[in-house]
């Protein structure tokens, strides 16, 4: 019995020892597993934090883009905040084969040098700043802020185009002719003011109503005297425009490109001898063919004579329309300016009159290479690349336009408001042109214009003006 008991005790001891070893191993393995699980949880959390940081960084990561239509831009990922850099460069050549234009008018010139910085904040608030360095001077062309509160409620404040002339509202890069037509000579260009406007019925109706400092026909506020970009009289101009595109959203594609409307301005103001508030008018070749009589100083026994000044109401109104279908487009507008004027002379005393000057134009354009015409911009089907056998887009243009001065401006002999011996009573011009779009952003233009006059010479009519223009244009 004793030997059996001893053997059993020894076996039990060995069994317990082996069980103890296994328990230690299991405990160690459990500790290792728990440590590994902890590491896995830490790694999972790190991955979660990395993903959360990446998601949070996406809205703050800027996107840099460049496109022919919108230039260079930086924008937020959601597109709500955008900063754009664009520019326009027009290098022109002018040649006058006629016998009356001074030879100094034959020249090369920088017509436009305009970098533009613009953008949007919070997808609502817009701004634009555009200087112009052409012509050996520096001016602020555009400088405004706008709030697009609703499609029908856009508030704009600063310096920008007054919403009146149809061709005036066409950007310089989209002009079909190198110089704008006579109707643009009668409507305001850029001015400082406050405007409310927007679209109704999905863009079928567009309206604008604004109050501006006021500028003379065809002028901008940077040319105001005695102080540029400031009020040039004691009262500002009211301006309004109503424009319709009744088939804009129609299934009838032949009528989608039709637009027509009416615009105008009103002011009651009085000029002075140093700021007459009256314009001069130029030909397509930018040569002055009409101006009002200016004041003359006393000389010896000759007394001083006052020039003609604006003195009372000025009402501009202009019906306008354009139509495009396929590769063809037509633009037409008529402008009437009714201006009260006065002139004080020793012989006739104070003379007053209401003068009505008018202008109109019809402009045609056709893409010979098949691109679609439109009021603003176009999309080229190819670029100029002889190695690929592509030649860009080719556009042919034609225009007829007139500017007619009220006959009452020349009544009164030496006491008249304008001198018939130097100012023409009417100018009629026709022009032909070719636009070659080598790329979406580069254009070469060639225009030929002939202008005929009624009056404007000591005897008979001022001789015709012939002008040949060319332009090398870059816009982005």
What does the pLDDT look like over 356-410, one tens digit per residue?
Answer: 999 999 999 999 999 999 998 888 889 999 999 899 999 999 999 999 999 999 9
Give CA 164 to chain center in angstroms: 13
What does the pLDDT look like over 90-121, one tens digit per residue?
Answer: 999 999 998 889 989 999 999 999 999 999 99
Indicate left, alpha or beta for 413 from its phi (over 0: left) and psi (-120 to 50: alpha): left
Q: Would you list the domain boundaries of the chain?
A: 83-475
Across-strand partners of 217?
A: none
Residue spans of beta strands (DSSP E) within 245-348: 258-270, 280-282, 288-291, 309-325, 328-345
3-state secondary structure labels for all residues of 193-224: EEEEEEEEHHHCEEEEEEEECCCCCCCCHHHC
Q: Which pLDDT does position 84 carry in this prediction?
A: 95
CB atoms within 10 A of CB 247: 16
Q: What is the mean pLDDT of residues 445-464?
A: 96
What does the pLDDT look like over 325-348, one tens digit per residue?
Answer: 999 999 999 999 999 999 998 888
- The pair of three-digit structure tokens given for residue 244, joined into one six-digit string: 């319709």
Q: Which pLDDT does position 151 carry in this prediction?
A: 96
DSSP percent split of the chain into helix, strand, coil, nearest 5: 20, 50, 35
Residues 278-313 as b or e (16 or more Cβ within 10 Å = b)? bbbbbbbbebebbbbbebeeeeeeeeebbbbbbbbe
For residue 6, count CB atoms less than 10 angstroms from its CB and return exposed for 0-12, middle for 13-18, buried for 19 or more: exposed
- pLDDT category, 414, cuts 50, 70, 90? very high
What does the pLDDT look like over 264-304, one tens digit per residue?
Answer: 999 999 999 889 999 999 999 999 999 999 988 777 766 77
Q: Which pLDDT does position 29 carry in this prediction?
A: 73
Higher pLDDT, 136 or 434: 434
Q: Which pLDDT does position 229 carry in this prediction?
A: 83
Name the superfamily (CATH) of residues 83-475.
Porin (2.40.160.10)
Higher pLDDT, 5 or 302: 302
What does the pLDDT look like over 166-211, one tens digit per residue?
Answer: 999 999 999 999 999 999 999 999 999 999 999 999 999 999 999 9
Percent of the chain past pLDDT 90, that is, above it, reads: 71
| Distance of alpha carbon 373 from alpha carbon 329, whole angstroms | 6
pTM: 0.84
Q: Which pLDDT does position 468 carry in this prediction?
A: 97
Annotate 68-110 with DSSP letters as a single string.
Answer: TTTEEEEE-TTSSSEEEEEEEEEEEEEE--SSSS-GGG-EEEE
- The pair of three-digit structure tokens given for residue 120, joined into one six-digit string: 């949007």
Per the prediction, the chain carries an average pLDDT of 90
């Amino acid at each position: 019995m004793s030997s059996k008991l001893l053997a059993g005790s020894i076996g039990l001891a060995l069994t317990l020892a082996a069980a103890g070893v296994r328990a230690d191993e299991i405990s160690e393995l459990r500790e290792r597993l728990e440590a590994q699980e902890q590491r896995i949880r830490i790694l999972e959390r790190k991955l979660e934090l990395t993903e959360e940081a990446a998601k949070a960084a996406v809205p703050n990561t800027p996107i840099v883009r460049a496109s022919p239509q919108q230039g260079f831009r930086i924008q937020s990922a959601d597109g709500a905040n955008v900063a754009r850099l664009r520019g326009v460069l027009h290098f022109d050549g002018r040649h006058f084969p006629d016998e009356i234009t001074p030879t100094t008018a034959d020249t090369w010139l920088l017509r436009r040098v305009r970098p533009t910085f613009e953008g949007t904040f919070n997808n609502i608030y817009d701004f634009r700043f555009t200087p112009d360095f052409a012509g050996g001077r520096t001016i602020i062309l555009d400088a405004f802020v706008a709030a697009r509160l609703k499609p029908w409620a856009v508030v704009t404040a600063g310096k920008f185009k007054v919403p009146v002339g149809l061709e005036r509202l066409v950007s310089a890069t989209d002009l079909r002719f190198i110089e704008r037509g006579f109707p643009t000579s009668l409507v305001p260009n850029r001015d400082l003011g406050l405007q409310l406007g927007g679209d109704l019925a999905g863009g079928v109706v567009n309206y604008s109503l604004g109050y501006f400092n006021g500028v003379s026909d065809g002028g901008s506020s940077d040319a105001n005297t005695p102080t540029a970009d400031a009020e040039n009289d004691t009262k500002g101009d009211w301006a309004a425009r109503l424009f319709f595109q009744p088939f804009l959203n129609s299934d009838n594609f032949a009528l989608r490109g039709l637009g027509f409307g009416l615009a105008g301005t009103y002011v009651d103001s009085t000029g002075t001898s140093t700021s007459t508030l009256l314009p001069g008018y130029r030909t397509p070749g930018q040569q002055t063919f009409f101006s009002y009589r200016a004041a003359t100083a006393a000389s010896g026994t000759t007394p001083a004579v006052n020039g003609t000044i604006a003195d009372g109401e000025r009402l501009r109104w202009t019906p306008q329309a354009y139509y495009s279908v396929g590769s063809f487009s037509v633009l037409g507008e008529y402008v009437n300016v009714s201006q009260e004027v006065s002139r004080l002379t020793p012989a006739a005393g104070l003379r007053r009159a209401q003068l009505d000057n008018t202008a109109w134009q019809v402009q045609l354009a056709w893409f010979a290479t098949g691109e679609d015409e439109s009021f603003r911009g176009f999309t080229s089907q190819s670029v100029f690349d002889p190695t690929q056998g592509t030649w860009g887009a080719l556009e042919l243009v034609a225009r007829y336009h007139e500017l007619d001065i009220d006959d009452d401006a020349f009544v009164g002999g030496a006491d008249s408001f304008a001198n018939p011996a130097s100012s023409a009573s009417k100018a009629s011009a026709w022009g032909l042109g070719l636009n070659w779009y080598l790329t979406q952003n580069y254009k070469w233009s060639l225009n030929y214009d002939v202008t005929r006059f009624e009056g404007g010479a000591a005897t008979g009519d001022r001789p015709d003006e012939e002008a040949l223009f060319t332009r090398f244009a870059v816009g982005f």
